[in-house]
Amino acid sequence: METADPMFDPSSVGVTAVIAHYGAVGMTAALVDQLRAQRTDRTIQIVVSDDASPEPFPTADGYEVVRAEANGGFGAAVNRGAGLAKHPLLLILNSDLSVNATFVDDLLAAAAPWLPDHLCGPRIYEPKGRESEPRRYPRQRFYFVEWLGFLARWRDSPQWAHLTGSFPLRSRDVAASVDWVVGAAMLVATDHFRSIGGMDEQFHMYMEEVDLQRRLRAVGVPSAYLGSVTVEHHKAGSTPGIDRRLAAVLNARLLYELKWSGWAAVRRLQLLLSVATVLDLASDTLRRARGVGVAPLVEARRRFRFILTRPTPFRRHLD
């Protein structure tokens, strides 16, 4: 294997692209085709890490497939794929991305001043023109604001972004050191990724990239946002239903608090979200009195059911 020498030349170094796959084959296959068609002289190893998808990803020339016996989540899939990496740089990708024909070289060119001792992430466009922004490390006050349903009408405003932890940037196309970048597309030195044991597999879905980047920063590898390079994120790969997604997000956030701050932090977050739920109950009750078709008690009970659940590391489900 090539080594991640601090003096390596990003203009020619090889890259291992790991695609975590679960669900329908189509979007992953399209991304594989886009990577195989990159206009570049560098070597790109493509690894599809099939996380025990009901429809196994097919094998063919031009890429490798590694398949799990049981579903372990995004982090486990990435770790499995990274185990096959032959090159100094690891490009971690969601399966539901679209990239242009020069994406890899564009990303490496933009990342050159930051490599190898940064994790780098591009600008990520989402459906309906939205973007996944670089973020500040999680704070409980960010989650409190997010949980207030009656503020939903302001979710596209700069004020909302500030109150929920978006990292302040002069403009969206700058390059900047940030707390963490969205895990749909991340470039990191393979040796750095392996040195901290890869992703923590107790996070089945959500928060795994935050935890990874926090652990990398602790060993001197912070994160950088590269706004001049873009990818499109369709958010259609393995997104669960609304209730399952809410449960997964909240479990991951509580688990993150437990890992980094202990049980007292878990209880504080549960209390804050409970207060937000009571405020939403009051707001929904007033809306119902004005004739809006809402069910305040039903929604409050639903939310409390998620809030008061004990955080569960996913690996326990596999023991």
User: In the beta sheet, which residues pair with residue 166?
Assistant: 135
Q: Residues 17-27: what's their mean pLDDT?
A: 94
Q: Which amino acid is at 145?
A: V
Band of pLDDT at residue 315, cut at 50, 70 and 90:
low
Whether residue 272 contacts residue 257, with contact meaning beta carbons closer than 8 Å, is answered with: no
Please say if the pLDDT value at position 9 is more than 80.
no
Lowest average pLDDT, out of 186-200, 229-243, 258-272, goes to 229-243
What does the pLDDT look like over 89-137, one tens digit per residue? Answer: 999 999 999 999 999 999 999 999 999 999 999 999 987 767 888 999 9
Give dist(CA 89, CA 190) in Å, integer. Answer: 5
Q: Is 4 helix (H, G, I), strand (E, B) or coil?
A: coil
Question: Which CATH number, 3.40.50.620, 3.90.550.10, 3.40.50.300, 3.40.50.2300, labels domain 15-134+169-233?
Answer: 3.90.550.10
pTM of the model: 0.90
- pLDDT of the residue at 182: 94
DSSP per residue over 154-203, as a string?
GTTSHHHHHHTTBPP-S-TT-EEEESB--TTEEEEEHHHHHHTTSS-TT-
Please say if the pLDDT value at position 6 is more than 70.
no
- pLDDT of the residue at 274: 96
| Closest listed residue to residue 257, CA positions, set 137, 148, 146, 78 | 137
Give dist(CA 313, CA 140) in Å, integer. Answer: 20
Q: Residues 14-20: what's their mean pLDDT?
A: 97
Please say if the pLDDT value at position 18 is more than 60.
yes
Whether residue 57 contacts residue 25, with contact meaning beta carbons closer than 8 Å, is answered with: yes
Percent of the chain past pLDDT 90, that is, above it, reads 72
What does the pLDDT look like over 35-77, one tens digit per residue? Answer: 999 999 999 999 999 999 998 999 999 999 999 999 999 999 9
Give the DSSP letter of residue 62.
T
Q: Residue 119 has which token pair?
A: 């994790």
DSSP per residue over 85-144, as a string?
--SSEEEEEETTEE--TTHHHHHHHHHTTT-SSSEEEEEEE-GGG-EE--BPPP-HHHHH
What does the pLDDT look like over 143-160, one tens digit per residue? Answer: 999 999 889 888 888 889
33 or 309, which is more confident: 33
Domains in the chain: boundaries: 15-134+169-233, 242-318
